[in-house]
Structure 1
């Protein structure tokens, strides 16, 4: 410890000078530079005079950012499950756990948007034209990666060839669940052959043979620990996805009632049909048989 009269003691003016030097980011990358905040924070361009349009824009932009991260994790997890090694399976489980947490963030985003009342939305709706979340290419890629395949959902992206190519690639590729079943088969669990090689563009249909395969895993978790963990990660994802869709439909009904959506869908009626879609059916039905 130095005393005030020690020649080695730091003077107050020296400390102030050092702090000023540390706060000078003119010659190095700053926080804003790294995150490109100028571009991000200036990407909100309301078209109406309505105060609440800023909420609408920010909610959807941030949701798209979360979906970008979700796709980043989903694609890497699917690749790791399709080409597993001793190290990649735990990494895939971590990625899938992150996907579930991202969905929780998206659920909370609907909670914020639900503060918009019907008159507030009505004031800005004419300015939206035909733009709709129904047209989100990233959301469609997520649905396809999770197995909800539908060729009709390619059409909203036909006017953007680069986006259409991304969505079509997700439509043609094996889903997360397809790769999970193939992994089960490679690890010696009998899986029906028609579920291991099929037309990946078609929605998955439940199979008694696949349920039996999962029952083999769940009846002896310690012998099939990796597959048991995978099954629970899939359960977490579908659980979170159901909540996301449910909060979507209730928020839309709260804000616009049963009006048609701006993208031309039936609005609430269309969204309610989506609540009945089951992504990983045998993961749920096996619980009754245990």
Structure 2
């Protein structure tokens, strides 16, 4: 019996492993040769590659462990990737704040939703660090010196933008005038929520003038006029749909931020217990105290009144 010919004999039906599409072997596979693979570009001697576009060389060579301990690489990459995610979160928050100032709320909603998803990524990242045991961390901890995530200038700007202001937190950046200036600017600017309160006023709600002209360097206060405005929005969402959506985006954002903080303190307790932090804080007790901070107070209290 004659067996029908199969053009893909010896390979998969999509051509993978087919001798006709297999990568060239021997001399033809050397750089500059005419090797082909599914019509993909293989020669980047005169054009931009993936690594070029992403500047991967400096990023992938930015890990410099100070000990010979295997686990230090995990610790470094965990925190470097967190800083990259925070950079994106700040980028989106700045743009969202500009959009609110311009009364362009739909773009702001998309940006806020993205920040919430970024925080979810940061929450999940703690699960990777949690694979480090207390003994493993103790072996590499001396290499950290006095460095601590408490000193992250991006985290401080993020907190300030969300309304948790504290002038004392400028201190860790005094040795870097360039970073100090960035954090100080965030301290003196209205927070994102402050801009939303101004939005409520522009939309016709009777916001206390003292709230609209408050000292921006102070933490977000609970204000009765702001709460009354949100109560009206929640009782009549169809009449104030954009503000209703803004309220829910903000609650979603703070929810994600709280989960990030909770996973942080849980991971710290799992790895170092109640030892003092490398930056001088009390460690887990300090982080637990931060769990009590409420960023958008009226949005949470109004739920009791509905």
Query: Cα offset for 1:139?
Result: 0.1
Does residue 112 of structure 1 match 2:128? yes
Deviations 1:160-186 (A, max 9, x none): 000000000000000011000100100
- Counterpart of 2:171 (choices 144, 152, 155) is 155
Query: Cα offset for 1:19?
Result: 2.4
Distance 1:184 1:135 in 2: 34
Aligned residue for 2:45, secondary structure, equals coil
Does residue 265 of structure 1 match 2:281? yes
Aligned to 2:159: 143
- Counterpart of 1:19 (choices 12, 19, 36) is 36
- Residues 189, 216 of structure 1: 8 Å contact kept: no
Aligned residue for 2:238, secondary structure, equals coil
Aligned to 2:247: 231
The answer to which of 203-212 and 158-167 deviates more is 203-212
Distance 2:119 2:77 in 1: 17
Aligned to 2:89: 70
1:35-46 mapped onto 2 (5 Å cutoff): 35-46=54-65
Size of the alignment, in residue pairs? 276
1:61-140 mapped onto 2 (5 Å cutoff): 61-84=80-103, 88-140=104-156
Aligned residue for 2:282, secondary structure, equals coil
Distance 2:77 2:220 in 1: 35
RMSD, aligned α-carbons: 1.6
Q: TM-score normalised to the size of structure 2?
A: 0.88
Q: Looking at secondary structure, tell me which structure has more helix per residue.
A: 1
Aligned residue for 2:239, secondary structure, equals coil
Aligned to 1:217: 233
Aligned to 2:16: none
Does residue 180 of structure 1 match 2:202? no
Distance 2:61 2:223 in 1: 50
Higher RCO (C-alpha under 8 Å, 6+ residues apart): 1
Query: Cα offset for 1:18?
Result: 7.3
Aligned residue for 2:237, secondary structure, equals coil
Aligned residue for 1:26, secondary structure, equals coil
Query: Cα offset for 1:140?
Result: 0.1
1:182-201 mapped onto 2 (5 Å cutoff): 182-201=198-217
Deviations 1:180-227 (A, max 9, x none): 010010011121111111110011111222111100111111110110
In structure 1, stretches of 5+ residues that fail to align are: 1-11
Query: Cα offset for 1:256?
Result: 0.5
**Structure with larger Rg:** 2
Distance 2:153 2:169 in 1: 9
